[in-house]
Amino acid sequence: MGYNTILTQVDGKVATITLNRPQVLNALNDELMDELGAALLGFDADDNVGCIIITGSEKAFAAGADVAKMAKYSLQEVYRHDYISRNWEQIRKVRKPVIAAVAGYALGGGCELAMMCDMIMAADNAKFGQPEVKLGIIPGAGGTQRLPRAVGKAKAMDLALTGRMMDAQEAESAGLVARIFPAADLLKEVSAIAKNIADMPLLTAMMVKESINAAYETTLSEGIRFERRLFHACFGTNDQKEGMAAFVEKRPAKFTNS
């Protein structure tokens, strides 16, 4: 599949999507988000893929929505064409695990895209921020909702009201980032983590993702109920039988994703 703004690669069961508009630090426009959505849904449908990585360059994951393009938008246009909602959130339809591998800037829509992924792995040079306020807009791709859920109200307010950047260390201690790696090793390390995840029984990994995501959408008792039903459903899979038999028989499991 030929894309203009992203690169895609599949290595074993791991698919990697690289945002590729280096001249504008991977600023996000409709074309890129359309292509990203198409690639993500394609890999989600591909039985040979078990985990997806989204990454950028060493300098920028994405420096935000394309400001030059956005500067000319009118209220009528953004409302009529449902800017953001129309095509920026395809990633939410993906049921397989998606990891953001973030080096350099993840600002505005770039930070929001990273937060739409299931987890963020950061290079030690990563910088996160929601600087929209300085442009006369508020975060529009989930920043005011996902950031406080990740780092708490105080830090979310601090970041979104001042527009300051947060480095990888601060982001990890605040809970936004799962792990930090030296920039030069980021992709190698994240690919190894993705391979590890892709080798897990796929249906179970999908259920883990679905259940953790439910924690952000519901009450504790409803969330626990949802978890319990999926937990029960695991006992209907061949991979539960195989995983537990392999443990008991002290041999490696051979999962069939069934």
Span of 137-145, 192-200, 203-211, 243-251 interacting with ligand HXC by CB under 6 A: 137-145
Q: Is 51 helix (H, G, I), strand (E, B) or coil?
A: strand
- State in angstroms the smallest separation of the CB of 24 from ligand HXC: 4
Q: Of the two residues 135 and 208, which places its CB atom closer to ligand HXC in the complex?
A: 135
In angstroms, what is the minimal distance from the CB of 72 to ligand HXC?
12
Note if 65 is an active site residue. yes
Query: How many angstroms separate the CA atoms of 238 and 252, rounded?
Result: 15
Mark whether 143 is an active-site residue. no
Among 84, 224, 230, 246, binds ligand HXC (CB under 6 A): 84
* Inter-residue contact 106 to 65 (CB < 8 Å): no
DSSP E strands, 48-189: 51-55, 60-62, 98-102, 105-107, 119-123, 127-129, 165-167, 179-181
Question: What span, in angstroms and rounded, lies between the C-alpha atoms of 226 and 90?
Answer: 23
**Catalytic one of 35, 112, 160, 198:** 112
Strands (E), the chain: 6-11, 14-19, 51-55, 60-62, 98-102, 105-107, 119-123, 127-129, 165-167, 179-181
Among 105, 128, 181, 255, binds ligand HXC (CB under 6 A): 105
> Interface residues for ligand HXC in 31-70 (CB under 6 A)?
63-68
Q: Which is nearer to ligand HXC, 50 or 131 (CB)?
A: 131
Helix, coil or strand: residue 64: coil
Q: What positions carry a catalytic annotation?
A: 65, 109, 112, 132
Task: List residues near ligand HXC by CB under 6 A.
Answer: 24-25, 27, 63-68, 84, 105, 107-109, 112, 131-132, 135, 139-141
